[in-house]
Amino acid sequence: DAKTTQPNSMESNEEEPVHLPCNHSTISGTDYIHWYRQLPSQGPEYVIHGLTSNVNNRMASLAIAEDRKSSTLILHRATLRDAAVYYCIPETMGGTSYGKLTFGQGTILTVHP
Amino acid sequence: DTEVTQTPKHLVMGMTNKKSLKCEQHMGHRAMYWYKQKAKKPPELMFVYSYEKLSINESVPSRFSPECPNSSLLNLHLHALQPEDSALYLCASSQDGEILLFGPGTRLLVL
């Protein structure tokens, strides 16, 4: 499993963009970069994932460095509902490692009104 | 129906009790998972079932016994647990093994 480094915590103001960084320098060529978040008292929730190219969906954008050793999750306009722990998980999914997501410590995001 | 449901929401049990946690999904997902999450820690994988067969067991003690009776249902049977087993137990499912959909969890307290 690739090792990840994320800031322990970050803060943002409501309606401002948030850039959550993740270093994964030991990522393998077949690992996708997955981001999940966990709101208080809930199960984790899928946010986005990608392999090489930048990815966008309705929740967020994922910017992946050209060497794939780091990535950044971008929340374009933070809301109070985005306050959560954000996990960056490099993982080869499907096949024999069917869904073996290994969570690191994550980043606690606090959003101020 | 696009969610994973878990029952019960909360469970308190003694060290000599036998209890079961239940997880259901009706999305036709072929993989189902149990994770354990202790307070202020990240979730840790326990078991993965693929097409109703156990495909991954992360060296979990035998006092935890998973069961997948059909493609929609996943159980976790608990017996002779210890207080340190108190945690949030999360179930998840996946259609393709790439994106996991998690349930809300069962919060277990072992006395």
* Among A44, A49, A100, beta carbon nearest to B43: A44
Per-residue pLDDT of B70-109, as tens digits, reads: 999 999 999 999 999 999 999 999 988 789 999 999 999 9
C-alpha dihedral over B22, B28, B31, B32, to 10 degrees?
-10
Q: How confident is residue A5, by pLDDT bands cut at 50, 70 and 90?
A: very high
User: Does the CB of A50 have a partner CB in chain B at under 8 Å?
Assistant: no
SS3 content of chain A, % helix, strand, coil (to 5): 5, 45, 50
Pick the residue from chain B with its C-alpha nearest to A95: B97
For residues A83 and A41, the answer to whether their CB atoms sit within 8 Å is no
For residues A92 and A33, the answer to whether their CB atoms sit within 8 Å is no
pLDDT for residue A24 is more than 70:
yes
Q: Considering only residues A84 and A31, tell me which one the structure prediction assigns the higher pLDDT.
A: A84
**Which two three-digit tokens encode residue B100?**
């996991």
pLDDT for residue B56 is more than 80:
yes
Length of chain A: 113
Q: How confident is residue A94, by pLDDT bands cut at 50, 70 and 90?
A: low
Tell me the residue ranges of DSSP E strands in chain B: 4-7, 10-13, 18-25, 31-37, 44-50, 53-57, 64-70, 73-79, 87-94, 101-102, 106-110
Helix (H, G, I), strand (E, B) or coil at A81: helix
Strands of the A18-23 sheet, one edge to the other: A18-23, A70-75, A61-64, A55-56
Q: How many CB atoms sit inside 10 A of residue A85's CB?
A: 20
* A94:B98 CB<8 A: yes
Helix (H, G, I), strand (E, B) or coil at B83: helix
Per-residue pLDDT of A47-56, as tens digits, reads: 999 999 899 9
- Identify the pLDDT of residue A91: 86
* B99:A49 CB<8 A: yes
* Among A43, A94, A100, beta carbon nearest to B90: A43
* Among B42, B98, B105, beta carbon nearest to A105: B42
User: Does the CB of A113 have a partner CB in chain B at under 8 Å?
Assistant: no
- Identify the pLDDT of residue A28: 87
Q: Kindly list the residues from chain A whose CB atom is less than 8 angstroms away from the CB atom of residue B25.
A: none
Percentage of chain B lying above the pLDDT 70 cut: 100
Single-letter code of the amino acid located at A45: E
